[in-house]
Amino acid sequence: MTTPPVAIHVEISTKIPEVSTERIRAVVTQLVRIMTGALPLERKARLAGLRIRILHCDPHPTNDPNRWPPEFDHATFTREFSHLDYTADGRHYNTVAGFAGTLEVPMMACSKDLICDETDWPVDESIFVHEFAHTIMNMAMGGPAFHGRIHNAYAAYAALFTTKACRATYACANVDEMWSEASQAWFGATARADVNRKIATVSEIAKLPGLYAILEDTYGPPTSVCHLLEGCRGMCSL
């Protein structure tokens, strides 16, 4: 069953030359609808007031600001986030491709690669789906029942790894990254198999019944958003 959509403000950088503002807004709107479609109204309502910014920024994965491509709009990005220096996990905003909203700071940002412009890093996953999954968990999924379930699911996931292998796998870093990486697989929005080992596909997630059940309760059945993400060649994992 789908509940009515929630009002979310989408702000798009005026300096994105490759893709029209209308196109980006349409894709974001549809992704939001699909990813929140199964949420009960009271949870969905907690996302009201969220601002999503799509920026023209393509930080390099090495986190070295000096290695960003020259067209990166560094001045605008730092000005927009000057009141915030670091993400929740301690990375400077200048070094990330996106970040999630929280109840305290209901603003999410994502570089224009949400549509997987294949000329930019990264081309084999949707950062938008990753960050919006974090945002849904941060803002809509609070409460002890969810907290208990997701922590149990994380314990089962981490138990598949040695301590060293877990440390080397982004999705194993904590509950939050497991959630967002698994969400990307749930929506067919990643072709990666390195950062998300053992939850890179829905069939792998099915081997973790607790995690599978939480994802299904939150999002409904696995759904591919590939058709919205033109440019994501080879990305469609569902």
- The Cβ-side half-sphere exposure at 45, using a 13 Å CA radius, reads 3
Quick one: which of 200, 211, 38, 35 has its CA closest to 110? Answer: 35
What binding mask, one character per residue, do residues 177-206 give for Zn ion by CB under 5 A, x or -? Answer: x--x--------------------------
Q: Which H or E run includes 36?
A: helix 21-36
Cis peptide before 122 (omega within 30 of 0): yes
* Least distance to Zn ion, CB of residue 183, Å: 10
Binding segment for Zn ion among 33-41, 174-182, 199-207, 230-238 (CB under 5 A)? 174-182
**Among 54-62, 136-144, 169-177, 194-202, the segment contacting Zn ion (CB under 5 A):** 169-177
Minimum distance, C-beta of residue 100 to Zn ion, in the bound complex (Å)? 7
Using the contact rule CB under 5 A, the part of the chain among 10-18, 171-179, 216-224, 227-235 near Zn ion is: 171-179
Strand partners, 11: 53
13 lines the binding site for Zn ion (CB under 5 A):
no
Alpha helices in 61-201 (DSSP H): 74-80, 127-140, 144-158, 163-167, 175-186
Give the CB-nearest residue to Zn ion: 180
List residues near Zn ion by CB under 5 A.
177, 180
